[in-house]
């Protein structure tokens, strides 16, 4: 009975944790874009994102297979990125304003982040960003950060920005209703759930390593 109970809990976690993470990120971005603002709402959004990141960091450790552990972490990260991007793209699509801008300068920024999961494994990622300093008709926006160099110093480009200032600006040519990002999110989430549910079903007759080493593996009928 204990083994069956553990399998049920793991199945629930295999589905519920990835869905919760995507829901938290989506909710946080909607709060940021459409919420009432203020310290309380802003703080709630930060907590939601941190909770989603905690799920991303620690939930793969529930997997028995090392392959599932790694691949599902990647696919969940893709899903979270799609959820985040999808909301921001929709905001610019629905209420964004376009402005003609001159590029004053472009700074390349490289950041390295290291995360450690519950089993002590570390993962290091490097992110490259390009900060474009702008002079736009009407005075806004003054800068734009992208994952690639959009234009060089002295060039002109059209930028879409949020008049409420809650979502970062984007090149006008890249503004969309976010449908592609939502598809990426959905596919990444579906693959994550399939991998983790499959892992549970394959190993359902075994108690997970974190349970066997917790001191709870008391003799009894399973």
Look up residue 206 and give its DSSP letter.
S
Residue 221 is predicted with a pLDDT of 35
- The b/e string for 106-137 (b: 16+ C-beta within 10 A; e otherwise) is beeeeeeeeeebeeeeeeeeeeeebebebebe
Residue 36 is predicted with a pLDDT of 76
Residue 200 is predicted with a pLDDT of 84
Residue 115 is predicted with a pLDDT of 65
Residue 190 is predicted with a pLDDT of 95
Nearest one of 167, 200, 189, 181 to 77, comparing CA atoms: 189
Please tell me the distance from the alpha carbon of residue 16 to that of residue 12, in angstroms, as a whole number. Answer: 6
Residue 21 is predicted with a pLDDT of 92
Residue 191 is predicted with a pLDDT of 94
- How do the domains of the chain map onto residue ranges? 1-95+177-222, 97-174
Calculate Rg over the CA atoms of the chain. Answer: 21
Residue 222 is predicted with a pLDDT of 35
Residue 14 is predicted with a pLDDT of 86
Q: Beta strand 143-146 with 156-161: parallel, antiparallel or unpaired?
A: unpaired
Residue 126 is predicted with a pLDDT of 84
Q: What is the dihedral of CA 129, 146, 131, 40, to 10 degrees?
A: -90
Per-residue pLDDT of the chain (222 residues; tens, 9 = 90+): 545 555 678 888 888 989 999 999 999 999 888 887 767 777 888 888 889 888 887 877 777 777 888 888 899 999 999 999 999 999 999 999 999 999 999 999 988 877 665 556 676 778 899 999 999 988 999 999 998 999 999 999 999 999 998 899 999 998 999 999 999 999 999 999 999 888 888 876 555 554 544 444 444 433
Angular region, 139: left φ>0, alpha ψ -120 to 50, beta rest: left
């Amino acid at each position: 009975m204990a083994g069956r109970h553990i399998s049920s809990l793991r199945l629930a976690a295999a589905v519920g944790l990835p869905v919760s993470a995507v829901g938290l990120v989506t909710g946080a971005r909607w709060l940021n874009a459409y919420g009432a603002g203020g310290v309380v709402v802003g703080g709630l959004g930060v907590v939601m994102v941190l909770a989603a990141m905690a799920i991303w960091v620690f939930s793969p450790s529930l997997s028995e297979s090392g392959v599932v552990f790694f691949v599902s972490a990647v696919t969940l990260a893709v899903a979270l990125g799609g959820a985040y991007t999808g909301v921001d793209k929709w905001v610019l699509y629905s209420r964004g304003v376009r402005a003609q801008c001159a590029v004053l300068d472009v700074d390349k920024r490289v950041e390295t982040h290291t995360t450690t999961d519950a089993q002590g494994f570390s993962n290091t990622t490097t992110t490259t960003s390009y900060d474009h300093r702008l002079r736009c008709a009407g005075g806004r926006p003054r800068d734009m950060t992208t994952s690639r160099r959009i234009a060089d110093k002295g060039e002109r480009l059209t930028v879409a920005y949020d008049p409420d200032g809650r979502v970062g600006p984007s090149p006008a040519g890249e503004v969309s209703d976010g449908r592609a990002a939502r598809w990426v999110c959905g596919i990444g989430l579906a693959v994550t759930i399939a991998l983790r549910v499959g892992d549970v079903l394959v190993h359902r007759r075994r108690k997970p390593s974190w349970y066997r080493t917790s001191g709870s593996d008391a003799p009894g009928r399973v």
